Structure 1
Amino acid sequence: MIGQKDKSWINTFQKMIRRSYSSQECAAIWQKYQDVFSPNYQSLMPPRYAVSDIFAIEKTLATKEAQLNLLNPGKAKNHYRLHFYTLEPHYLDDYFPVLGNLNLRVIDQIQFPLNVKGTQVFIKSFTITAAESQCASFSILRCRLLNMIRAVLNKKVENDRLNSLLILSGLLWQEIDVLRAYRNYYLQLAYKVTQDSFHNALISNPDVASYLFKYFEARFRPTLEWEDSLLREEQALFPLRIKLLEKIEVVSDINHDRILRTLFNLIDATVRSNFHVRRDLNDFFIAFKINSLGIIDMPGPRPQNEIYVHAVDMEGIHLRGGKISRGGIRWSNRIDDFRTEILGLMQTQMSKNVLIIPQGAKGGFIVKQECGDACYRATGKSAYITFIQGLLDLTDNYVQDKVNRLPGIVSYDDHDPYLVVAADKGTAQFSDIANSVAAEYNYWLADAFASGGTKGYNHKQLGITARGAWESVKRHFRELGKDIQQQPFTVIGIGSMDGDVFGNGMLLSKYTRLLAAISGEHIFIDPQPSDSQNSFVERKRLFESAGSSWDDYNRQIISEGGGVFRRDDKNIIVSDVLKKWLGIRYKKVDGETLIRYLLKAQVELLWLGGIGTYIKSSAETHIDAGDRSNDSVRIDATELNSQVVGEGANLGFTQKARMEYALSGGRINTDAIDNSAGVDISDHEVNLKILLMRLYKKNKISDYQKLFNSLTEQTCQSVLSNNYKQTLCLSMEQLRSDTHLAAYMQLADYLEASNYLDRKAESFVRTKALMARQSQILSRPELAVLMVASKMYLSEQMLKQSDFLKAEYFEHYLLAYFPEQITENYKDDILTHPLAKQIKATCISNKIINQAGALFLQLPPEYENNLLNCSLCYLTFDQVIEADSLRLQIFELDNKIQTKLQYRVLQVIEKTLLDFCRWALINTKEIIPSEDTIDCYKMYFKEYQRQFQKDLIKDETYTAQIKTYIQAGINQTLAEKISFIESIENFPFLVTLTAETEQAFTHILLMHQDTNKFLGLDQVYSYLNE
């Protein structure tokens, strides 16, 4: 009987081969396979499916790649055979997780080892059925199922429970991946939802899952039928929205309901997606752009929009504070909460970017694959490319000065052609990669897309971020009466010498006495460095050695009691020197304990140049700090004993920690203030490149790169000047806030109400809490927040008035932004720069707030709509009295006179300018900085000054004041000018009176002086000022 059955099977098999192959192929196939299939195989599989197996085996042999097939032997209606064809044997655990997540139940399994002309081929055969109800039969789902399994095995898509939606709802694997992308984004939003909860909500309600994708599809499928957005809304979106809400309404589980509604909201808040551009490509991934303001209950702070990029091996997020915004791209290692990390950095970036034209942005990506270092770096590079492609897929382009969108992208937002990125942690060498991707898109910014790289400014070579932060450090010490460029000072640092910010920073003064440093792997301690330059030279050697670490430091020059230890060391012997210095009572400590002692040590400067949040406030938990990797070494701000903190790196302190440290007498700004130079120079680079590219295309320059390189040092000096002036502003604000605290709090309330200050996100104090402070003052970090918000507000007010910045008298500020070499030769091209308006607004708002302070915005209620007129008036008189020249002369007195006197003299200038503005407001005078107006006022100003100098010798008060200035170190010319400016609050009134009476200015001036003397008004003014 058995032999007869075998013979019957083989006969049928031969007939099936004849039917399936041509006469030419038939003999060869029969010859090849007549003895391949074993009796065991023949007993289980009908001959017609053996022919199907041959097709798959032939393909496996030809491609050397695994194949699969779905067969129905017909024994049971819903039982199918799933075959995997490979050249190597595979274990069950290679397949079971895949089948289980597809909601498939395995009834049995068997492996058929075959010998095809000497080549081993393996058929892994599973009898399968659906574990739960399926939306359609396997015969209908066959292609979808095989494609899904193929995609999972080829690592094109993740293997998780969402894949069961194919069986439950009929969704394709790419369509399920859309829901998976939203799941991953959802989990990054810090909602209290687990991945399992999300899966349960969709798997328990497959009909809703199907309609969620249908809604996504209707929003973003490119079709001529729905090219009219109103038609798309009427015919597709509105009906689907109603249907979807009906489906969700009948969901019984409240948690499922909440998740499904949030998912619906996320899709509704999505304004662009590249799904239909990428769905059939080999490098399939998904990117979508979300209007963050449209997401219900999104935790703050909210970006204006964000792009999320999702692929099987990576995820990434790009957060933008405005339409024109820029910031670095970070390779994050925070798999579970990388958006939280990037959001914190974006918030810092928003503060930094008040110095530059775009608003703050920040991007970051993670690599999901775990492998060795070389593989990890290659995967990181690939992930970065995917991320940049995702961003550019959803960004418009300029083609022949017209905005173009990538074909296949449906958009629900305005034109969006400006996207600029920069390097950050882990991506320092990736700028050229980003620019090469941009070149593939023919992106209009070309190599200005990613700043840095071989054709841009190398931040580490320039040391620009550290040099900018050093301006903050020098100012702190100058106010303490110490010149750290000429006097020794002690430092403990976070970072290593191979790093950009830490390494450059520790080479900026030969008087740096580095006592200790903490990096990601090592602890360096040199408790009593010699006065020789040996340590400086050794630090320089490490800085110039690529990939160096503290472990490479020459132990021979480390002072007694010091050494280099690993952070993860369990037993570090504590020397007597360390015991005395750090107050350690133990003979041995572990690395983490030693780090905590070092952070608490008495030292002049704590220099932050590495990654990690090391200081929190005493009221915060380690969870609040948001940096799990440093939970075991972090200390409270109240335990810190350094005099000054320089935040060359981001997020070294929480904002509450900065405030607590500052209120206890520590000198600190914020990371956004200290390390803004890197951002600033990148912005200069981008704007310069945009200009130079336009000049090159017009054949006005031939060697674009040579000209760009020649401008480097001028650009660096411009950037460092911004750092100098911004830290000066904070010092001036501290002085002003001591006497005008209520006004600052009123301004904070106003900026909060106007959505320019997020009090919660910035931890900015409320009035009630301020009154409860032991010293009722605003800390320097809080004033930094207020300064940034004020600059944003003023800049936005200018940009909102479409014609305001078009006036010719603003050209001066635009031209001053670029190096002189450029402005001398290409003025007309600068004036037509695509970002001319933004550059003007940024430069003017920085100038006014840096000099006059945030209270410049605090106008009386009846004049609050006159801010821009007041700005014009300020800019006019700033030029009339040649205030910039005076300020430069005062800046040159750094370390020559006391900072208190410098600030006192600067206050004189600003008080006079604000008095002029106040007079113009009260008298409803619109004074604009036109050339004619400035020339007119300057003429009268010089007349006034000549008369003042004539009268000077008669006035003992002014003579004594000038003498005091000169004795303090101010030269006579400057002393006289400041004394003069201090006494001319009536100048605008006298000019107006001169114009209205048509009398000579000198005549009006003398009459005014005589009247004041006769009525005793000079004495009254003196009393009022006191």
Structure 2
Amino acid sequence: FSVGNPHQKDFLTQVSEIFQRLGIGVRRSYCLIISTGVHPYFLGNFYVLTHDGKLVEKGSDLFRKLQNELYNTQILSTSSVSYTDFVTNRILTGEEASLTNAFAAFCHTFLAHKEPDRFDESVVTKAFHSNPDITLRLIRLFKSRFDPDIPEREGLYEKERKEALEVIEGYNTGHRYLDEVRRTIFRTCLFFIQRTLKTNFFVPEKHALAFRLDPEILSDQGPAFASDLPQGRPFRITFFFSRHAVGYHIGFSDIARGGWRTIICKTPDECTTNTNSVFKEVYVLAHTQHLKNKDIYEGGSKLTVVMDAVGLDSPALVTQRLYKVQYGILNAFLDLFVTEKGRAKHPGVVDYFGEDEPIELGPDENMGDAMIEFIARQSVKRGYILGIGIMSSKEIGINHKEYGVTSRGVMKFAEVAMKEIGIDMSRDPFTVRFTGGPNGDVAGNSLRLLLERCPKAKLLSLVDGTAGLYDPEGAERAELRRIVLKQDLDHFRPEALHPGGFMLFRADRRQDGLRELYRKVIRGEKGVEETWITVDEFYKEMDELVFTVSTDLFLPCGGRPETIDRSNWQKLLDSGGKPTVRVITEGANSFITPVARSDIQKKGVIVLRDASANKCGVISSSYEIIANLLMTAREFLAHKEAYVQDVLAILEKRAEE
């Protein structure tokens, strides 16, 4: 057998454990790793007999178990507690352990958005592993609902459900607080099984698990559960789980579109923060997208995945894992949503929904051009209802970054708002601060347009995922042009700063005893000076670059949702209570919460919100999908340049209107 982009650690050990657990002996084997220069491929040839000397016959029950367990190595981590406690001790099969991990990941991410401490990942995981009887009961319940080989599933499922509910409600170990927490976790898992409408768990070859949920699961948790979420009920919620990632797709209508972002976590703290908030983040972003899409036929949606990259010490390894995660989740998505006469086409998917679901995706954080093109090809290959229309920003389309479609609207909104305060950006001097990388789509193209259209603009501060920059005289325009749409901020040369300027670097760290220090470079009168600052000092100064640097215009074109909320918006005011900014144009989705936005506006700041300011990307994607539906690939490519120029003209006009 062969595996594309296999997990690097313990893969052969895991394969050997499967053979041993299934009573299969390996007489000899030949293994080879082949690399394309980007991704490795494993080729393995194993000569095996059962422990009693028999062949493993193709089509036999043992062969099927072996095949499923080998496929499952792509989902089940050998470092997970489910593997070490349950699989190696023969309590669960490998597939059942993966399902248990998915149960725990859902309960954690779903519940933690409201109470992150009470439903910490370790608390939820321990609940399942401290109570194997309940875990096994929930697994049986899941199988009774979705195993396509079980006859008369409905009656068996109802019997198992009632028994599971009785056990959960009666759960009592004498530890009142802990018992209530665990009852909530187990009850949520029961709702998860009950509200899942289809899953790819019984599809043999998969790299990720997918569960399409009825949004009524929100009501199951009680009215207080959704009190911190935007009003309005989604049309669908889909949960994804893989070996190194977890995420959600949420859509607010049957036909919906929105971007796919992958959050790469390089430290355990980043993993904790992002898995705690991922459900709420997706919900808020999808709702914002729905508002943006009010004038087009698609409703709004968003797919966000949190990827664990802890311990990966090179960009190449991060890229390999990113590709593996996105490949797995894409195919899990297609397992559910490739349909025939309204029902999931794959025979391993039991479909309780029974309708086509045209879902369009788009580029977002950490979605590269190669993966964009692969998604379109794979959609066609597997027969998805939208074909290449599943994905926007591709070659047979309008690449968002290449043409800067979203940024055109952001900058046009900024120009109109700045005129309201008496500043003509095309000829008057003004100051500006940014969040978002110069190599990113929205921030990079907004910066490019600023350099092209605003000769007297001074960029005082810029923050992205790699670095922070401050320059009291405005960052050197030639140096900005050198890196814009090519490199991240950490490639800006500190020597190009003016005296008094400085840069902070996220990746440049060192240990000083027990303290972790970050690199800071200061531009003095005599040149560049390097210093090292503590974690507290680093994040304090990063915050100041976002909040307290006084500018006419603030363009948040990147960063985490809800960066500015009710607890910190006051940092935008100086010591006298005066705003440090006059106009804010939100290029990044949900960068400012609604409450904070309202409070900032009351202070006299003009705030143009995301759902309007960055809407040109949505409009462009709609024109792209329409073209994909009306023209062949050859026809589109023949007329692409003229078509794109027409769309760009429409975007400029719509943004100004």
Fold shared per TM-score above 0.5: yes
Alignment of 1:41-440 (within 5 A): 56=25, 58-60=27-29, 156-163=76-83, 164-165=85-86, 171-189=92-110, 190=112, 191=115, 192-223=118-149, 225-226=151-152, 232-233=153-154, 235-253=155-173, 254-255=179-180, 256-278=182-204, 281=205, 283-295=206-218, 296-297=220-221, 298-299=225-226, 300-301=229-230, 303-333=234-264, 335-336=271-272, 337=275, 338-369=278-309, 370-371=311-312, 372-397=314-339, 405-429=345-369, 430-440=371-381
1:446 pairs with 2:387: yes
1:520 pairs with 2:441: no
Q: Which amino acid aligns with 1:329?
A: W
Alignment of 1:619-768 (within 5 A): 619-620=566-567, 640-693=579-632, 703-725=635-657
1:547 pairs with 2:487: yes
**Against the structure 1 CA distance between its residues 710 and 199, is the aligned structure 2 distance closer, same or farther, given a 3 Å change threshold?**
same
**Against the structure 1 CA distance between its residues 428 and 351, is the aligned structure 2 distance closer, same or farther, given a 3 Å change threshold?**
farther
Could you tell me whether the CA contact under 8 Å between 1:431 and 1:452 is conserved in 2? yes
SS at match of 1:58: strand
TM-superposed deviation, 1:612: 3.7
TM-superposed deviation, 1:604: 0.9
Q: What TM-score comes out, normalization by structure 2 length? A: 0.75
SS at match of 2:186: helix
Could you tell me whether the CA contact under 8 Å between 2:257 and 2:298 is conserved in 1? yes
Q: Which has the higher contact order (CA 8 A, sep 6+)?
A: 2
SS at match of 2:304: strand
Query: In the comparison of the two structures, how many residue pairs are matched?
Result: 557
Q: Which amino acid aligns with 1:343?
A: Y
Any idea what the Cα deviations from partners look like across 1:548-597, whole Å, max 9, x if unmatched? 536435845x5443355546756665869xxxxxxxxxxxx955444444
Residue 445 (structure 2) aligns with = 504
**Against the structure 1 CA distance between its residues 573 and 244, is the aligned structure 2 distance closer, same or farther, given a 3 Å change threshold?**
closer
Could you tell me whether the CA contact under 8 Å between 2:344 and 2:354 is conserved in 1? no
Structure of larger gyration radius: 1
Counting strand residues as a fraction of each chain, which structure ranks higher?
2
TM-superposed deviation, 1:645: 1.1
**Against the structure 1 CA distance between its residues 59 and 690, is the aligned structure 2 distance closer, same or farther, given a 3 Å change threshold?**
same
TM-superposed deviation, 1:162: 3.3
**Against the structure 1 CA distance between its residues 65 and 357, is the aligned structure 2 distance closer, same or farther, given a 3 Å change threshold?**
same
Could you tell me whether the CA contact under 8 Å between 2:75 and 2:242 is conserved in 1? no
Any idea what the Cα deviations from partners look like across 1:11-58, whole Å, max 9, x if unmatched? xxxxxxxxxxxxxxxxxxxxxxxxxxxxxxxxxxxxxxxxx9x99462
Moved more, 242-251 or 379-388: 242-251
- Paired-residue identity, %: 22
TM-superposed deviation, 1:284: 4.9
TM-superposed deviation, 1:259: 2.3
Q: Which amino acid aligns with 1:292?
A: P
Stretches of structure 2 lacking an aligned partner (at least 5 in a row): 1-20, 32-43, 53-61, 174-178, 265-269, 509-517, 526-535
SS at match of 1:416: coil
SS at match of 2:202: helix
Distance in 2 separating the partners of 1:635 and 1:709: 43
Could you tell me whether the CA contact under 8 Å between 1:497 and 1:550 is conserved in 2? no
SS at match of 1:444: coil
**Against the structure 1 CA distance between its residues 643 and 208, is the aligned structure 2 distance closer, same or farther, given a 3 Å change threshold?**
same
SS at match of 2:165: helix
TM-superposed deviation, 1:156: 4.0
TM-superposed deviation, 1:718: 2.5
Could you tell me whether the CA contact under 8 Å between 2:72 and 2:207 is conserved in 1? no
Q: Which amino acid aligns with 2:635?
A: D
Could you tell me whether the CA contact under 8 Å between 1:614 and 1:635 is conserved in 2? no
TM-superposed deviation, 1:488: 2.4
Could you tell me whether the CA contact under 8 Å between 2:376 and 2:387 is conserved in 1? yes
Q: Which amino acid aligns with 1:335?
A: C
TM-superposed deviation, 1:602: 2.7
TM-superposed deviation, 1:425: 0.6
Any idea what the Cα deviations from partners look like across 1:387-435, whole Å, max 9, x if unmatched? 1111111114468xx7763333222224133021111010042211211
Could you tell me whether the CA contact under 8 Å between 1:493 and 1:607 is conserved in 2? yes
Kindly report the root-mean-square deviation, in angstroms, between the aligned alpha carbons of the 2 structures.
Answer: 3.9
Distance in 2 separating the partners of 1:497 and 1:154: 35
Alignment of 1:574-973 (within 5 A): 591-598=538-545, 599-612=547-560, 616-617=564-565, 619-620=566-567, 640-693=579-632, 703-725=635-657
Distance in 1 separating the partners of 2:484 and 2:130: 58
Could you tell me whether the CA contact under 8 Å between 1:469 and 1:674 is conserved in 2? yes
**Against the structure 1 CA distance between its residues 343 and 706, is the aligned structure 2 distance closer, same or farther, given a 3 Å change threshold?**
same
**Against the structure 1 CA distance between its residues 200 and 379, is the aligned structure 2 distance closer, same or farther, given a 3 Å change threshold?**
closer
Could you tell me whether the CA contact under 8 Å between 1:169 and 1:206 is conserved in 2? no
Q: Which amino acid aligns with 2:289?
A: Q
Could you tell me whether the CA contact under 8 Å between 2:437 and 2:489 is conserved in 1? yes
TM-superposed deviation, 1:493: 1.8
TM-superposed deviation, 1:167: 8.7
Distance in 2 separating the partners of 1:478 and 1:61: 71
Moved more, 508-517 or 683-692: 508-517
Distance in 1 separating the partners of 2:490 and 2:308: 30
Q: Which amino acid aligns with 2:184?
A: R
Q: Which amino acid aligns with 1:319?
A: I
**Against the structure 1 CA distance between its residues 485 and 259, is the aligned structure 2 distance closer, same or farther, given a 3 Å change threshold?**
same
Residue 562 (structure 1) aligns with = 501
**Against the structure 1 CA distance between its residues 223 and 597, is the aligned structure 2 distance closer, same or farther, given a 3 Å change threshold?**
closer
Residue 735 (structure 1) aligns with = none
Residue 55 (structure 2) aligns with = none
SS at match of 1:528: coil
**Against the structure 1 CA distance between its residues 520 and 390, is the aligned structure 2 distance closer, same or farther, given a 3 Å change threshold?**
same
Could you tell me whether the CA contact under 8 Å between 1:56 and 1:68 is conserved in 2? yes
TM-superposed deviation, 1:144: 12
Stretches of structure 1 lacking an aligned partner (at least 5 in a row): 1-51, 72-141, 227-231, 577-588, 626-632, 697-701, 726-1026
Distance in 2 separating the partners of 1:525 and 1:179: 48
TM-superposed deviation, 1:352: 1.9
**Against the structure 1 CA distance between its residues 682 and 483, is the aligned structure 2 distance closer, same or farther, given a 3 Å change threshold?**
same
Could you tell me whether the CA contact under 8 Å between 1:515 and 1:527 is conserved in 2? yes
Q: What TM-score comes out, normalization by structure 1 length? A: 0.49
**Against the structure 1 CA distance between its residues 168 and 287, is the aligned structure 2 distance closer, same or farther, given a 3 Å change threshold?**
same
Distance in 1 separating the partners of 2:463 and 2:421: 26
Q: Which amino acid aligns with 2:28?
A: K
